[in-house]
Amino acid sequence: MNTRYLWASLALIGCADPEIENPIETADTGMVEADAFENIPSGLYVLTFHEGDDGRYTPECQENFIDYKCVQNVSEPVESPWTYENTWDNNDEWFFVEIGTDGARPFLLMEDTIIFGEESEGGVTFELERFENSMDADRHEGGYVYELAQEWRETQTMTLTFDEFGFGMGEMVQSSMNFTTIRETDMWDTEVVDRYGSYINSWYLDYYLIDHDDYGYYPYNNYSAEECEGADCMLKFGGSGTYKMNVELTYYGPSNGNLESYDHYDNEGDL
């Protein structure tokens, strides 16, 4: 999993404005201590992502068709001359980030994204949640309905501990889910509703569904035949998973250590 998609693209934030008074620098290391957060030294850091585990992904599929099942839910294997294999590997990646405090909580500043955190035992935990939900619908006064809903959610949690020399270690866990749900009226009168073919993408039906008996019969929602249990045909597919990476932080230099000089960063998350 490419770390470029785990966090927003990171960039060097820049050095502190000399006219802004910085928090106290420690005598031994030059690190800037975030006021009121003794376990979280503020400053510029080099953040290193190390390759993590293989991750865990659980696919899911639901349907209400009478003569079809989700392929992954069929216990009897489907014979095919094809086999598929996918491998992936990547090198470690390095980025610059800034850690500081707004006076009440620590933050991690990455280009145009601010992620607030909370103190944990001996360190800090930063968490960022993103989501996208969409719905497209065609509705006819004659009773026909077609809906395509998509939902995506991703949570990235990075837990770090620091030593007295400005080195931080920990892990980042990414949890994500992505689902597509399709609904279409099972039967409709074409003399009332001027639609003669199903709007369900045939690729979805052919890829995710399989006939109970023939194992390969092409599925379809015909306006004049009852294919589903209930008034609507429904297909939902997607899945959820987690992925872990080891991370290291190396102290690079002092920074403002607060949000006062970043007036244009006034919201959490993407700005």
pLDDT digits (tens, 9 = 90+) for 137-181: 999 999 999 999 999 999 999 999 888 777 889 999 999 999 999
Distance CA 92, CA 211 (A): 45
Number of structural domains in the chain: 1
Question: What's the start-to-end Cα distance of the chain, in Å?
Answer: 25
Q: Is the pLDDT of residue 35 over 50?
A: no
Sign, Cα dihedral of 27, 28, 30, 32: negative
CA distance 170 to 102: 23
Measured between alpha carbons, how far is 63 from 237 in angstroms, rounded to an integer?
9
Give the pLDDT confidence score for residue 261 in this predicted structure: 53
For residue 153, give both structure tokens: 């959610």
The 10s digit of each residue's pLDDT in 216-267 is 567 889 999 999 999 999 999 999 999 899 999 888 888 765 555 555 444 4
Q: Which has the higher per-residue pLDDT, 121 or 187? A: 187
- Does residue 270 form part of some domain? no
What does the pLDDT average to over 16-33? 34
Beta bridge partners, 117, equal 126
In degrees and rounded to multiples of 5, residue 263 shows phi and psi of -60, -30
HEC string of the chain equals CCHHHCCCCCCCCCCCCCCCCCCCECCCCCCEECCCCCCCEEEEEEEEEECCCCCEEEEEEEECECCEEEHHHCCCCCCCCCCCCCCCCCCCEEEEEEEEECCCCEEEEECCEEEEEEEECCEEEEEEEEEEEEEEEEECCCCCEEEEEEEEEEEEEEEEEECCCCEEEEEEEEEEEEEEEEEEECCCCCCCCCCCCCCCCHHHHHHHEEECCCCCCCCCCCCCCCCECCCEEEEEEEEEEEEEEEEEEEEEECCCCCCCCCCCCCCCEEC
Q: Are 17 and 261 a contacting pair, CB within 8 Å?
A: yes
Q: Which residue has the higher pLDDT, 81 or 145?
A: 145
Residue 186 domain flag: yes
Whether 10 maps to a domain, the answer reads yes
Q: Which stretch of 6-10, 88-92, 145-149, 189-193 has the lowest confidence by average pLDDT?
A: 6-10
In-domain check, residue 167: yes
Task: List pLDDT tens digits, range 104-140.
Answer: 788 888 777 888 898 877 788 999 999 999 999 999 9
Is the Cβ–Cβ distance between 130 and 120 less than 8 Å? no
Q: Does residue 178 lie in a domain region?
A: yes
Residue 271 in domain: no
Backbone dihedral angles phi then psi of residue 184, each to the nearest 5 degrees: -150, 140
> Is residue 91, in this structure, part of any structural domain at all?
yes
In a domain, 87, yes or no: yes
Which residues span the domain enclosing 164?
3-263
